[in-house]
Amino acid sequence: MLTTFRKVLVANRGEIAVRVLRSCAELGLHTVAVYSEADRNALHVRYADEAYSIGAPPAKESYLSIDKILDVARRAGAEAIHPGYGFLSENEQFAQACQDNGIVFIGPRASSIAAMGDKIAARKVAKAAGVPTVPGTDGPLATVEEAEAFAKKFGYPILLKAAAGGGGKGMRTVRTPDELASAFRLAANEAKAAFGDGTLYLEKLLEGVRHVEIQILGDRYGNVVHLGERECSIQRRRQKLIEESPSTVVDEDLRRRMGEVAVRVAEAVNYENAGTVEFLLDRDKNFYFLEMNTRLQVEHPITELVTGVDLVVEQIRIASGRKLRLTQRNIVVKGAAIECRVSAEDPYNDFLPSIGRITHVYEPSGPGIRLDTSIYDGFEVSLYYDPMIAKLIVWAETRAQAILRMRRALEEFKLVGIRTNIPFHLRLMESPTFIAGRFDNSFLDSFNLAASDESGEHARLAAVAAAAVAYQLKQVKSRKVDGAQPGNDSAWKLAARRAALRLS
């Protein structure tokens, strides 16, 4: 049964809205964007065929408003909605409301979202399917006291998690009993703010493990395939920062076994469309089900680069009722891909958000580079949304080449006007631990921006640069006082240009 559609509404913003619009455009679909008052100038508004305002900047009043988005879909005559990630992408009421209004939701069934969206219920599903899970509570925690009792039972450290969680929000590590009460409150508040539900559960914190996830695709005829793994252990405060595929510790056999388990989890909830099954992998190659994300992941491009599959195109095909054209046998992982999440966070000020105008963007390009972003010259980084502003993704034939390529691309990537975590990524790409691939998900807890081998030379250059800028500023100022031509060209700069002309 094909449910062909010609007009798709993208219920999201930022880089993911742009990324989805691109695949829609390539499929010849008409596109509809929605935007908050803060996003009138955004690329997704400009790239879509139609764009509709849906309210004030806070997400609750715009990107999280089911009524407003469905109203736009009706007015624009959109026959399908792609939710992207975040916002309404894992909201079963939204998926159900789309269906009730005769609109195709480009994602899983509402029942699958519900089954996996409640992380407590998801653990039960996995257990029932015979998949090992991390030790933890089987139900929600009503009070801090209850959390204390469970923490005592499993032993510290423990991890408090939001039942409605995702993307690392509403999650706190607790190492000692006296940290529990404050962590409980902060996690519950954060979960309530991010998901509208402050319910928490807890798991024993497994240490020395990696976060490895499997991408799956399923159609409505019960065919499910996996597209290999993504290594996501490089995390800061439970937020993924760097992802790569393949993982340095996953061999062909482990990939097959993890893939089969992921497929089994998907089948247990009658899964349709793209999804990701997250696992913790220990040193002995035992893996434990963590959760299933019933949406496109932020880090999906690395899978696209190593498999050659456009996941958004597959999502749209599946949603229109087509059978999967991929079989497990013809999915081959080739080469190596790495993604760096570039955010407006200042690595030199405890990663606090850096708000303001990006006056200029110099994008990396050339062989093997993919940049998924929504920024442009003059882009305002606002407080309302996630600080991630770009995903820099590279592909190369080997992991070593991919690391070198990423370094080159990070050096080319210049964002002027705000601070970003690009220097942090650059330093990570030089870290022997990262290069050797010998890390677990605690790697960044102990990684800091200590001096590099070239620190002495860099300090000297920095001194020259700073003094030269100070000198130049002073020259300009004194020439202004003299009544000379104002401008940012100092005499010696002009002279250098003249000299260059003479030479040529």
| Distance, CA of 331 to CA of 225 (rounded, Å) | 9
Residues with Cβ within 8 Å of residue 502, at least 6 apart in sequence: none
| Distance, CA of 358 to CA of 343 (rounded, Å) | 12
Q: Which one, 127 or 497, has the nearer CB to another protein?
A: 497
Q: Give me the DSSP letters along 152-206.
A: HHH-SSEEEEETT-BTTBT-EEE-SGGGHHHHHHHHHHHHHHHHS---EEEEE--
Among 153, 470, 484, 486, binds another protein (CB under 8 A): 470
Among 14, 218, 228, 387, binds another protein (CB under 8 A): 387
Closest separation in Å from C-beta 116 to another protein: 22
Measured in degrees and rounded to the nearest 5, phi and psi for residue 502 equal: -60, -40
Among 469, 480, 484, 487, binds another protein (CB under 8 A): 469
Q: Which one, 150 or 424, has the nearer CB to another protein?
A: 424
* CA-closest candidate to residue 265, choices 399, 122, 156: 122
Residues with Cβ within 8 Å of residue 345, at least 6 apart in sequence: 351, 352, 353, 354, 387, 419, 420, 421
Alpha-carbon torsion 297, 299, 304, 306, what sign?
A: negative
Q: Is 190 among the residues that bind another protein (CB under 8 A)?
A: yes
- The DSSP 8-state label assigned to residue 40 in this structure reads T
Measured in degrees and rounded to the nearest 5, phi and psi for residue 191 equal: -65, -40
Q: Is 433 among the residues that bind another protein (CB under 8 A)?
A: no
- Looking at the annotation, which residues are catalytic? 295
Closest separation in Å from C-beta 103 to another protein: 28
Determine the interface stretch with another protein among 32-40, 110-118, 272-280, 466-474 (rule: CB under 8 A). 466-474
Q: Which one, 60 or 285, has the nearer CB to another protein?
A: 60
Closest separation in Å from C-beta 431 to another protein: 11
Q: Is 175 among the residues that bind another protein (CB under 8 A)?
A: no
Q: Is 466 among the residues that bind another protein (CB under 8 A)?
A: yes
| Distance, CA of 244 to CA of 307 (rounded, Å) | 13
| Distance, CA of 269 to CA of 262 (rounded, Å) | 11
**Beta pairing partners, 275:** 216
Q: Which one, 223 or 472, has the nearer CB to another protein?
A: 472
Closest separation in Å from C-beta 331 to another protein: 35
- How many Cβ atoms from other residues are within 10 Å of residue 363's Cβ? 16
Among 139, 140, 321, 423, binds another protein (CB under 8 A): 423
At residue 347, the 3 state secondary structure works out as coil
Among 153, 459, 477, 486, binds another protein (CB under 8 A): 459
Among 75, 458, 477, 480, binds another protein (CB under 8 A): 458
Q: Is 38 among the residues that bind another protein (CB under 8 A)?
A: no
- Are 364 and 392 spatial neighbours (Cβ–Cβ below 8 Å)? yes
Which residues, numbered 194-213, are part of the site for another protein (CB under 8 A)?
194
Return the structure tokens found at 220: 């409505």
Size of site (CB under 8 A) for another protein: 64
Which residues, numbered 94-133, are part of the site for another protein (CB under 8 A)?
none
Q: Which one, 436 or 451, has the nearer CB to another protein?
A: 451
Q: Is 41 among the residues that bind another protein (CB under 8 A)?
A: no
Among 6, 152, 438, 460, binds another protein (CB under 8 A): 460
Among 468, 480, 486, 487, binds another protein (CB under 8 A): 468
| Distance, CA of 373 to CA of 287 (rounded, Å) | 33
Return the structure tokens found at 350: 């405890």
Q: Is 427 among the residues that bind another protein (CB under 8 A)?
A: yes
Q: Give me the DSSP letters along 282-314.
A: -TTS-EEEEEEE-S--TTHHHHHHHH---HHHH
Closest separation in Å from C-beta 61 to another protein: 15
Phi-psi region of 444 (alpha: psi -120 to 50; beta: other; left: phi over 0): alpha
Whole-angstrom distance between the N-terminal and C-terminal Cα of the chain?
Answer: 69
Which residues, numbered 320-359, are part of the site for another protein (CB under 8 A)?
347-350, 352-355, 359
Determine the interface stretch with another protein among 292-300, 320-328, 432-440, 460-468 (rule: CB under 8 A). 460-468
Please report, as a single letter, which amino acid is at residue 220. R
Measured in degrees and rounded to the nearest 5, phi and psi for residue 128 equal: -65, -30
Q: Is 484 among the residues that bind another protein (CB under 8 A)?
A: no
| Contact map string, positions 434 to 453, toward another protein, x by CB under 8 A | ---------------x-xx-
At residue 447, the 3 state secondary structure works out as coil
Q: Which one, 332 or 464, has the nearer CB to another protein?
A: 464
Q: Which one, 3 or 189, has the nearer CB to another protein?
A: 189
Closest separation in Å from C-beta 94 to another protein: 19
The footprint of another protein (CB under 8 A) covers 169, 182, 186, 189-190, 193-194, 237, 347-350, 352-355, 359-360, 362, 383-387, 410-411, 414, 416-417, 422-423, 426-427, 430, 449, 451-452, 454-455, 458-474, 488, 491-493, 495-496, 498-499
